Chain A
Amino acid sequence: MTLAVKETIYKQDFQASLENASEPQWLKDLREKAFAYFTENGFPTVRDEEWKYTNAAEISKLEFQISNEQSESQTSELLKDFNFERNGFTALHLAFADVVLVTIPKETSVEKPLEFSFKADEGTANFPHVIVVAEAGSKATIIENYESAGKSLTNSAMQIFVEDNAHLTHYRVQSESAESYHIGTTEITLKRGSFYNSTNINLGARLSRHDVHLKFTVPGGEAFVDGLYLLNGSQHADTHSTIDHTVPNCTSHQNYKGVLNDRSRGVFNGKVFVRENASGTDAQQSNKNLLLSNDARVDTKPQLEIYNDDVKCAHGATVGQLEEEELFYLLSRGLSETLARNLLTYGFAEEIVNKIEIESIKKQLDEAVLNRLNANLGI
């Protein structure tokens, strides 16, 4: 009955935050609805198909102080589009969400990346919510950054709208503390001729879960949804994504890579839907994992559901160790075994890191990759 106790605690916080917030009635109603959903459903459990490999029970037993800045929260009717009914986390998120709204105006090209950085303090629960609207013909880059100190909970969401012919590059870097919990949701809606290019990096947190839901709603969009998870110790990282081709002539590319050391555990579940109507779809999906230890484990499930014949689709997943022939090649050039293994691992991750166009992030990641490997490659 831990769950019931927990819900009571969140209930008091919820009531308090609702009273303090000066928000329009529709939003209060929406929050009430979301909270009611949470109360009724609680946190997801491993009996839930979508949470089969990720046990969130730990989180439901912990008490966090709600870090709530709802008074400064912005409002947007677009919040109504957020699907809070996915699970208890998304519902709880909306109930407490601190909203930031950013609009990239029509036909505007923003040079400097827009940065959203969140840092969770020890013992707190955080519910940041960012809405990004890239208006028609605009061009911008956004950086989403998560850090934390000690044990904390981040339950975040981002809603992204890429309007006609807009071009959005998105970097999401999760490097929370080794004791923290991170639950994140990204919803992306793509319009005609739009282009969305994301790279999702998961380095931190004791337990992390990232859900990506991307939907083409008008023909002619293109999206990259790439990612890298770099895990060690007893870290657990789960990525669930859906890429939904509901209309014709859209292109999606998904490339996720994982490097797992020690007893870490990775989960990748990627669903690509090609609906009846979606002729001319080009959908590619790949998930490759490198296990550096015998105790590391990955559960990967790339899924294609195709209801149209006129499509070009491919998907695949691998879980393996370093290639022996590559290793021997490096050894035969005089690299020590440790150095050779580290270099190959670095090379495996670099495919994702290399596509990053912002030097500072690239450098940060290069360093993170190398730190994780305890490697000094002199690079």
Chain B
Amino acid sequence: MLLEIKDLHAGIEGKEILKGLNLQIKKGEVHAIMGPNGSGKSTLSKVLAGHPSYEVISGEVLYEGKNLLELEPDERAREGIFLAFQYPVEVPGVSNSQFLRLAYNEKMKHHGTEELDPLEFNDYLKEKAKIVEMSSEFFKRSVNEGFSGGEKKRNEILQMAVLAPTLAILDETDSGLDIDALRIVAEGVNKLRSADNAIILVTHYQRLLNYIEPDFVHVLAGGRIVKEGGKELAIELEEKGYDWVKAATK
């Protein structure tokens, strides 16, 4: 088991958001987590990535059999966890390539593999950028600064491609994308999908799942997984709306 979440209760600013969440993920799987706005999807994502503002009240999260919750966010990242942010952060004055090379090399150092110098990394980055059809013009620019919504999301997937995570959590990577950008991002994710990694697709809409086919769909409502199934569940949700699951669980 790559990730095991057991009866997780977590919240922010004294407010409990996740109220007993269970989830199991194996390598090679893609899980979609769907749910209405405010159901706690981003909370789950941030808790897994280790955001300091979120507190875990009780429960357990095991990653590769080890207690994930005791690791610092940067340690989690170096161990292979990656969060594509719903709202990617702008980092003025730090170029994309600088940032990515530092992140890449930190991970390499951690795993005792070879670090890349700027020239080598540039070649590596160019290769990876093809996956999301990003031009090298974006390498020199400050991280996400002045990027359009779609460019930011693509940049997140570029980071994913560079860092090659074992567990990638994509928090509403589809939101704010027009149809072309959605296709590019989805194709990028499909290329990165492998038997050695797992992906959690957090989304409000079924649309993304037409492009990236999930193995499992979980519906999150009121801080709990209220329904689970295969990709057909997403279609059912799209037709019947979230009120249907909410009503069904009451």
A307 within 8 A of B: no
CB-CB nearest in chain B for A343: B94
Task: Report the Cα distance A350→B50, complex, angstroms.
Answer: 29
Q: Is B89 an interface residue (CB 8 A)?
A: yes
B234 within 8 A of A: no
- Given A334-B77, A340-B74, A348:B107 Cβ within 8 A: no
Q: Which residues of A lie under 8 Å from residue B230 when comparing CB positions?
A: none
- The digit string for A331-367, where 1 denotes a CB below 8 A from any CB of B, is 1111111011001101111110010000000000000
CB of A333 within 8 A of CB of B99, answer yes
Given the complex, which residues of B lie within 8 Å of A328, measured CB to CB? 51-52, 73, 89
On whether A331 and B89 interact (CB within 8 A), knowing A347-B142, A350-B94, the answer reads: no
A369 to chain B, nearest CB (A): 10
- The smallest beta-carbon distance between B185 and chain A, in angstroms, is 18
The answer to whether residues A354 and B93 also contact, given A334-B78, A334-B110, A336-B74 and a CB cut-off of 8 A, is yes
Residues of B within 8 A of A350 (CB): 92-94
Assess whether B159 is in contact with A325, with CB atoms less than 8 Å apart: no
Cα A337 to Cα B78 in complex, Å, equals 13
Interface size on A, residues (CB 8 A): 27
Contact of A378 among B51, B53, B94, B105 (CB under 8 A): B105
Contact indicator A344/B94 (Cβ below 8 Å) = yes
B163, A333: Cβ atoms closer than 8 Å: yes
Min distance, Cβ B181 to any Cβ of chain A, angstroms:
21
B91–A335 touching, CB < 8 Å = no
Q: Does B106 contact A (CB under 8 A)?
A: yes
**Which of B83, B91, B103, B106 has the most chain A CB atoms inside 10 A of its CB?**
B91
The docked-state distance in angstroms from the alpha carbon of A326 to that of B90 is 7
Q: Given the complex of chains A and B, what is the CA–CA distance between A346 and B99 in angstroms?
A: 12
Bound complex: CA of A378 vs CA of B103, how far in Å?
11
> Interface readout for B50-75 with A: 1 if CB under 8 Å, 0 if not?
11110000000000000000001110
Complex: how many Å from CA A377 to CA B89?
A: 20
- The reply to whether B103 and A335 contact each other, CB–CB distance below 8 Å, is yes
Do A335 and B74 touch (CB < 8 A)?
A: yes
Q: Does A379 contact B (CB under 8 A)?
A: yes
How far apart sit A336 and B163, CA to CA, in the bound complex (Å)?
15
- Distance in angstroms from A258 CB to nearest chain B CB is 14
Q: State which of B49, B93, B101, B105 has its C-beta within 8 Å of the C-beta of A346.
A: B93
Chain B residues with CB below 8 A from A331, complex form: 50, 72-74, 77
Within the assembled complex, what's the spacing in Å between the Cα atoms of A379 and B102? 9
Contact call B52/A339, Cβ cutoff below 8 A: no
- Name the B residues within 8 Å of A343 (CB-CB): 91, 94, 98-99, 102
CA distance A340 to B74 in the complex (A): 10
Q: A335 touches which one: B50, B51, B102, B142 (CB < 8 A)?
A: B102
A100 at interface (Cβ–Cβ under 8 A)? no
Contacts of A101 in B (CB 8 A): none
Asked if A330 and B93 sit within 8 Å, CB to CB, the answer is: no
A336 partner residues in chain B, CB cutoff 8 A: 74, 106
B83: A residues at CB distance < 8 A = 332
* Cβ A334 vs Cβ B93 within 8 A: no
Within 8 Å by CB of A334, from B52, B88, B163, lies B163
Indicate whether B85 reaches chain A with its CB closer than 8 angstroms.
yes
Contacts of A379 in B (CB 8 A): 98
- How would residues 114 to 157 of chain B score, 1 for a CB under 8 Å from any chain A CB and 0 otherwise? 00000000000000000000000000001000000000000000
A251 to B63, CA, bound (A): 58
- Tell me, in angstroms, the Cα distance from A326 to B74 when the chains sit together: 13
Complex Cα gap A293–B185 (Å): 41
Does A329 lie at the interface of the complex (its beta carbon under 8 Å from any beta carbon of B)? yes
| Bound CA span A344–B106, Å | 16
Which of A335, A340, A348, A349 neighbours the largest number of chain B CB atoms within 10 Å of its CB? A335
> Of A331, A337, A354, which is in contact with the most chain B CB atoms at under 10 Å from its CB?
A331
- How far is it, in angstroms, between the C-alpha of A76 and the C-alpha of B83 when the chains are bound? 65
Query: In the complex the two chains form, is B91's CB within 8 Å of A334's CB?
Result: no
Write the nearest CB–CB distance from B158 to chain A, whole angstroms: 12
Residue pair A377, B98 in contact (C-beta under 8 Å): yes
Chain B residues near A339: list those with CB within 8 A. 102, 106
CA distance A332 to B159 in the complex (A): 11
Taking beta carbons and an 8 Å cutoff, which residues of B are in contact with A? 49-53, 72-74, 76-78, 82-83, 85, 88-94, 98-99, 101-103, 105-107, 110, 142, 159, 163
Task: Point out residues on A near B: beta carbons under 8 Å.
Answer: 324-326, 328-337, 339-340, 343-344, 346-351, 354, 377-379
For the A-B complex with A333-B159, A348-B93 known, give 5 more contacts whose Cβ atoms are closer than 8 Å.
A333-B77, A333-B103, A350-B93, A354-B93, A377-B98
Q: List 15 A-B contacts (CB under 8 A).
A: A328-B51, A328-B73, A331-B50, A332-B74, A332-B76, A332-B82, A333-B82, A334-B103, A334-B107, A337-B72, A339-B102, A343-B102, A347-B92, A348-B92, A350-B92
